[in-house]
Structure 1
Amino acid sequence: MRALLLAVVLVATGCGAPAVGTPVPTDLSATDLAFVDLVIPQNESALAALALAGRPGSALGPVVRKAEDRYRSELAQVREVLARAGKAESNQHEGHDMPGMITAAELAAVEHVQGADFDLQLKSLLRNQFEEARTVARAELTSGTSKPVLEVAERIDSSRAELLALLGGGRQ
């Protein structure tokens, strides 16, 4: 149900849909493009949060090391899909406070926290991001059509489940 709601919101707000008059590459549906357009800012915001966990004393090292590699790999994959489709990154979600996006304000707030509270707050941000990334990936798996994009969605869904387990909880 949540995936359907996300798809409805994306279509209703125009998020992910190509601009009027912009041809959609035949191998990418509007759903595929919407998914790719969400993966990029979600992964970039998560990478910014993961970079904070490199500080001495953070217990999130195992999660960070695993997540960073996966996020970078996924970014490379979706950017390659866009390039092959002749589509530029849209950056249409810039400045949006959407589920799964870790905002600059959230990063700034966590950055100034110390000790166990730092790990607790960062863990909460990451858990929310991992869960929402799974929701978006599952929407793509339900409605997407592009094989390469579906493969990324499948990787994200399984990867975030593993990362949630490493965090010690969250919905699976």
Structure 2
Amino acid sequence: MKSIRSGRELLNQLKLENIQFYEVRARLYAGFGEAPSDSSLPSDAAASGGGSDENSEQRWKFLVQLDIRNVNLRAQLEIRGPDARYNIDAAVFYSSSDDFQVARESLEEFLNRAAMLAIYPFIREALHESARKIGASPPLLGMFDAESIQIDLTDSDEEPRKN
């Protein structure tokens, strides 16, 4: 079994197999006055990372699967714009032809520097396309900013660390 010592080494070990969506949802509030109170996205849990629109509240959740031949990252985004609410849930799957083991720090480096960069454009496109379909103004989800949204595996719930 190969021992992986860095995120770069893990990237070289793995092959991107698939990107899978689990949920793409948009709910329009237009025509009914103010947006209804939404307790599932409290303001104290909102993050404004990733180059987001100042008028948008967003929350990221990450789920990670790891075994001796696979690394999978599932990213779930809840975001509320001025006239709609969105949920985007997608995963990126990587595999290796050889068994490996990887340290937590190297896995975090890979997830933050490679896996998020692979999946983020798909999430952004799904957000904008779902807004277009319901006639809403899409919240701006700009380029991924690894300094503001990070996967930290030391947290038990695997929520992103917000700087």
Normalising by structure 1, we get a TM-score of 0.30
Counting helix residues as a fraction of each chain, which structure ranks higher?
1
Structure number with larger C-alpha Rg: 2
Normalized per residue, which structure has more strand? 2
- Structure-2-length-normalised TM-score: 0.31
